[in-house]
């Protein structure tokens, strides 16, 4: 199954979109702050430096003769407070005189200039009055600048403007706010984008772990950017090939084992014709042994082919049931561990494993003790007996098919040497392992580790 992804969904494009989105969000936050930040973003005129300086400059310029006023104005202007003087006959003066009739900020004027009789026009950022075009053109940032025009007694106009005062906060604090917005937006956008990017990787890792536990798990869902989808597709193809390969091999081995039965039957029939009774008895024994091995192999392959569903079950319950079954036969198998332990796996397959280990202990040693330990990442089950153990050089080989430590001893017990092979196959199918070791005090310890898979 395939999730429809937006076109060109690659890691690179996601990276670009993340950066673009982070920048856009940062800019939007700065913009929202300047619009809704109130006095923090836009300091009112009466709180700026303008009124105090304007009062002084109006007095000085007014006292000076008109011909020196341009020089004085040029000398008094600073970067933070621009200053212009317009003669009473200039077009700007006419426009300002017209606007002064519309300006109704009398209380503000009184506060700013301390003189209500004086004619003044105040242009505030986003105020109702717009500065006349020649003034606005003079100002590089007229959109957010403050203008105050004061008429002198001879009818000329003095225009003050604070071009860069867009915020009520000093420059350093303004930078801090911008940096905070940028950091917050980048961190938030990146965290969301990374979570979305990492989710398919996590799901893929979990699917790979599931495949390790159960080779029959269904194909992994393709999701995420193009690169991840390519990897998932490659994995699904490999998984399907492995499943096909294993199924084919199991089928082939089962067929060979099955077909061996016919020539064996013929050998037995021909054996009836042998006159030497001793030789005949030996031949029949070999034929019986082969028959048992073939039956064991067929049972093993049949068990392998059975696709038992994985489900959550009580492993402690399974172990206690096995112990109780032996108790019914008068064989005392001890159990140490919790009363309940949930595990997700194949209950019948694992019951076969522990039955085989306990059965081996009963057959080749003494009735064992089972110990179950539950850890966060895995469950371990130890089966300990007090028998002869297994020679050190055979500890690994006992897992090989048809391997038996003491053939003459085993013949009496009837085993074909496939029990541990099957047990190891089932435990490996759960992503776990079985280790055997001889205990220092004597006897064998079989330790089964079963990882918990999410």
- Nearer residue to ligand ADP within complex by CB, 54 or 323: 323
Cβ atoms of residues 385 and 444 within 8 Å:
yes
303 binds ligand ADP (CB under 6 A): no
The residues, any chain, with a CB within 8 Å of residue 24's CB and separated by 6 or more, are none
d(CA 194, CA 18): 9
404 binds ligand ADP (CB under 6 A): yes
Please report which residue ranges of 37-105 form alpha helices under DSSP H: 50-63, 69-76, 91-100
Q: Which residue stretch of 62-70, 123-131, 369-377, 383-391 sits at the interface with ligand ADP (rule: CB under 6 A)?
A: 383-391
109 binds ligand ADP (CB under 6 A): no
3 state DSSP class of 431: coil
Q: Least Å distance between CB 228 and ligand ADP? A: 43
398 binds ligand ADP (CB under 6 A): yes
Vertex 97: Cα angle to 95 and 103 (nearest 5): 100
Vertex 249: Cα angle to 244 and 250 (nearest 5): 100
d(CA 123, CA 150): 12
Cβ atoms of residues 408 and 398 within 8 Å:
no
Q: Which helix (H) or strand (E) holds 355?
A: helix 347-364
Cβ atoms of residues 336 and 372 within 8 Å:
yes
Q: Which residue stretch of 44-52, 81-89, 281-289, 382-390 sits at the interface with ligand ADP (rule: CB under 6 A)?
A: 382-390
- Nearer residue to ligand ADP within complex by CB, 56 or 289: 289
Cβ atoms of residues 110 and 172 within 8 Å:
no
Q: How far is CA 329 from CA 228, 318, 367, in A?
A: 56, 17, 12
Q: Least Å distance between CB 356 and ligand ADP? A: 6
294 binds ligand ADP (CB under 6 A): no
Among 360, 382, 430, 445, binds ligand ADP (CB under 6 A): 360
- Nearer residue to ligand ADP within complex by CB, 135 or 444: 444
367 binds ligand ADP (CB under 6 A): no
Q: Which residue stretch of 136-144, 186-194, 324-332, 397-405 sits at the interface with ligand ADP (rule: CB under 6 A)?
A: 397-405
Among 103, 369, 385, 445, binds ligand ADP (CB under 6 A): 385
Q: Least Å distance between CB 205 and ligand ADP? A: 34
Cβ atoms of residues 11 and 197 within 8 Å:
yes
- Nearer residue to ligand ADP within complex by CB, 120 or 357: 357
**CA 325, chain centre distance (Å):** 46
Sole residue written with tokens 């082969």: 290
3 state DSSP class of 228: helix
113 binds ligand ADP (CB under 6 A): no
Q: Least Å distance between CB 435 and ligand ADP? A: 13
Q: Least Å distance between CB 340 and ligand ADP? A: 27
Vertex 426: Cα angle to 201 and 246 (nearest 5): 70
Sole residue written with tokens 């039956």: 295
Size of residue set near ligand ADP by CB under 6 A: 23
Q: Which residue stretch of 37-45, 90-98, 332-340, 380-388 sits at the interface with ligand ADP (rule: CB under 6 A)?
A: 380-388
353 binds ligand ADP (CB under 6 A): no
Cβ atoms of residues 124 and 45 within 8 Å:
yes
Q: How far is CA 298 from CA 172, 256, 258, 259, in A?
A: 82, 10, 7, 11
390 binds ligand ADP (CB under 6 A): yes
365 binds ligand ADP (CB under 6 A): yes
Q: Least Å distance between CB 409 and ligand ADP? A: 7
Among 364, 369, 429, 449, binds ligand ADP (CB under 6 A): 364
Q: Least Å distance between CB 290 and ligand ADP? A: 15
Binding mask 412-431 for ligand ADP (x = CB under 6 A): ---xxxxxxx----------
406 binds ligand ADP (CB under 6 A): yes
Binding residues (CB under 6 A) for ligand ADP: these are 356, 360-361, 364-365, 385, 387-390, 398, 404-406, 410, 415-421, 444
């Amino acid at each position: 199954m395939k999730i429809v992804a937006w076109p060109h969904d690659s890691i690179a494009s996601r990276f670009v979109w993340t950066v673009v989105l982070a920048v856009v969000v940062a800019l939007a936050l700065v913009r929202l702050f300047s619009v809704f930040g109130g006095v923090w973003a836009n300091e009112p005129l009466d709180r700026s430096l303008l009124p105090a300086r304007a009062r002084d400059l109006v007095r000085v310029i007014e006292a000076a003769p008109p011909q020196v006023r341009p020089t004085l104005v040029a000398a008094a202007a600073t970067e933070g407070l621009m200053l212009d003087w317009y003669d009473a006959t200039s077009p700007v003066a006419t426009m300002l005189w017209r606007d002064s009739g519309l300006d109704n900020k009398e209380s503000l004027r009184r506060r700013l200039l301390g003189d209500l009789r004086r004619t003044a026009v105040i242009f505030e950022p986003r105020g109702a009055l717009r500065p006349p075009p020649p003034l606005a053109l003079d100002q590089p940032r007229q959109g957010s600048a403050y203008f105050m025009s004061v008429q002198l007694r001879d009818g000329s106009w003095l225009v003050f403007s604070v071009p860069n005062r867009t915020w009520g906060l000093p420059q350093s604090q303004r930078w801090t706010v911008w940096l905070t917005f940028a950091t917050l937006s980048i961190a938030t956008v990146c965290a969301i984008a990374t979570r979305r990017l990492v989710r398919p990787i996590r799901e893929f890792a979990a699917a790979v772990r599931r495949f390790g536990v159960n080779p029959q798990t269904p194909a992994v869902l393709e999701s995420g950017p193009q690169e991840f989808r390519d990897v998932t597709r490659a994995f699904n193809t490999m998984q399907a090939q492995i499943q096909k390969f294993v199924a084919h091999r199991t089928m082939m081995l089962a067929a060979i084992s099955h077909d061996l039965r016919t020539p064996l039957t013929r050998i037995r029939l021909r054996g009836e014709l042998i006159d030497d009774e001793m030789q005949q008895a030996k031949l029949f024994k070999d034929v019986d042994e082969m028959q048992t091995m073939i039956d064991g192999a067929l049972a093993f392959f049949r068990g392998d082919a059975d696709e038992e569903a994985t489900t959550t079950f009580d492993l402690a319950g399974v172990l206690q049931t096995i112990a109780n079954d032996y108790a019914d036969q008068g064989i005392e198998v001890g159990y140490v561990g919790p009363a309940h332990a949930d595990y997700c796996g194949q209950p019948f397959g694992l019951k076969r494993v522990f039955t085989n280990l306990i059965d081996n202990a009963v057959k080749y040693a003494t009735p064992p003790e089972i110990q179950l330990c539950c850890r966060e990442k895995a469950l371990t089950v130890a089966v300990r007996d007090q028998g002869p153990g297994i020679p050190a050089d055979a500890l690994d080989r006992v897992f090989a098919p048809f391997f038996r430590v003491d053939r003459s001893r085993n013949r009496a017990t009837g085993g074909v040497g496939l029990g541990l092979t099957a047990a190891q196959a089932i435990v490996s199918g759960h992503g776990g392992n079985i280790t055997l070791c001889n205990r220092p005090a004597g006897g064998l310890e079989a330790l089964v580790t079963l990882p918990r898979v999410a």
